[in-house]
Structure 1
Amino acid sequence: MFRLLARWRRLPFDYAALPEYMRRHGLLDPYRRCIAGLVALMVASGGFLFFSPIGPTGPVESALLIACMVGGTVIAALWLTRPWPTYRQSVFFVVGADALIFGALLSVADAPTAFTLSTAFLVVGVYCGHFLSMRALSIHVGATVAASTVLLAIAATGPGADVTLLVVQLLVQSTLFLFMPLLTQVPLFHLRDDAYRSADDPLTGVLNRRGLHQVITAHNHISLAEDDVVAALVIDLDGFKHVNDTLGHAGGDDVLRRVGERLRSATDGWAVVARLGGEEFGVIAAVPASSFPACFTAVHDSVHSVVDAVPITASSGLAWRTSTEFRRDHSDVEILFRWADRVMYDAKRAGGDRMGVVHCPPETVSERAAERASVRPDPAPHAHSYDDVA
């Protein structure tokens, strides 16, 4: 059990993975409406308490229940009318839903019944198990167990309370609060882990094209600072046939592995690195304009090392846009890589072991139409300096 939990904790978490899968299969909007309907149903259930003998009996309790119902109505409306929430918005939803459920239960006049109804927290727990991280799920479980304990304490002070039965009920509820979302999250996280592995290039350990697409899609919502530059770098190793002829294919594979390691080390988490195919690699990142030249020059230079038995150099092409020109769209990323690829071939034709740079301006309407038809106009002559970045 503990070994399973330890492995579960080490698994990568990508909030966008499951919503993106649901979106591709046409499930995201129906699921979002179902959540809105479920929240609305819980609000309606709270309304029926006013017609029950165990419902709120005083003005304070009635006002508390009405406030919780209004909050639930707002949440249901947001789920119904807004797009799928960001991770932060999902956390706020869980916190708000837990607080509203707890408030509604405090308004119930019969404390043992309120304690029994605290199983409503399970609904929120299932959402946590599907979409939130292990840390968020752990906090939710702790909060709901604490809330149930408070309700138990209130119920235990009532006349004729069966404290032993209440404690047994708390143990059962705590087990449900923990294991229902846990049994949901563990297999989902392992599926995501398999998806991450299928997105990796097995030889070099960096992402493959599929993984690059997944990461870009997952990070489309990330905001950019005004002075950021979004850039794509295409790196193609020079004379790789000579490397294979000299070292053999096993030696060539070892060279590719070393290049992958050097690119990961040079980017150190601030960029996404992928093997695009053969001896070609891609790097994409959003960095401040002031550090943009040095960052990507260092990535290009990291390919070569004096310790190599056969010297390795690369021809690279770098295409960039300012944050205001970048539309945070996957098609923009594809365009940057296409321009970078052309600049890379210019560098290779010029003798290799160099990096060309081009500013990729936003497309006109006609250029976007040509892009959709897979007919791109030739890029403007590229600059080999960064003077126009500043």
Structure 2
Amino acid sequence: MQCISANAIFGYKKSAKDIHKLEIDDETAFIVEMIFDYALTGKNSIQIAKMLNEQQIKTPAWYKNKCDRRSYEVDSKTIWTSAKVMKIIRDQRYAGDMVGNVRATTKVAKNDNIRVDRKEWIIVENTHKGIVSKEIFRKVNEEIMPIKERSNVAVGESRRQGFCYCAYCGRLLQKENNPVNPYLFCVRQKYDVKNGCDEMKIMTIPLQATLSAMVVKYVSSLIELQTFVKRSKMKIFQNHKSAMTGDEIEKEILKLKQSTISLNQRYHEGRFTKEAYILQKDKIRIQIEELEDKKLQILNGIGDKEAQKEWEKELEEKIEKFKDRISFTESELAEVISRVDVYSQTEIRVKWRFMDFTAKATDYLVRAQKIAC
């Protein structure tokens, strides 16, 4: 079996002679060895991750970013976690075997796939040199690591979702599904207690109630904005009725350009002094520029009907869905809320998903009022 993925796994690199072959990468392989060595001494994944962070060992994401394999910026929130440690410990490729059929496509021509049961994986042994021996790999996975950690490995479908983030490190907060008092916490506190994340914890039920109340107020403000926009549009439209249309402005510009030609002829006939000619020519130029600007405002303002209708329709749909309600599910909150930065149990900061409607409405009114004046 060949390695057909675009990039080699952490600890390896593609062979310079054959890109389908894996070679040990000395720059990163020692980290894989460290993880297995720690596991052999009886350390669990949380303890291993904490030790790696204390030694400031770079993560796989950091090395991928260094090799231009990732486009995002790796910052202080990129740390070792138990999931990252277990992903390496459970990967049989580190023992020199190639593993295939790990994921299966669910939709044709789409990037949707699901994790395949481990029993159905295709494993070909001894396809490349292992970073650890098969004996060490088997011992760590079957004898040393706790049973819960062996089975509870992030496989893609269980990746954390949500919109609440730690305000101190920027990590997505993790759910602790306590049957009595569920809460969100920053996973970094397990591995690094040298920042504000160590006490980051907020109860889920009160948070959801608070956010629901904020959504009610926000939707109410959007309704007021929508009413204001409609009234202002009607007033501006009435004032603009007698104003020039785009075609009329174009005709006036053409007349002014023709008058420039006539002015030039009369100047050469000696009917104007040079100073008078320049003064008159500048006056016509300013008139043309003003008309061109007015024409552009009409095209991009009141004349831009399609774009205007599009955002007004979207605003109306959002209002219709959320008005006259006082509580919302987590998924419904996510439709309205882009991000919640949590500072403490009593302090949060909310970023709304359709906040740009306010900017669009304001921009529209400013441009429209200029045209009507």
**TM-score, with normalisation over the residues of structure 2?**
0.22
**TM-score, with normalisation over the residues of structure 1?**
0.21
Structure with the larger helix share = 1
Which one has a bigger Cα radius of gyration?
Answer: 2
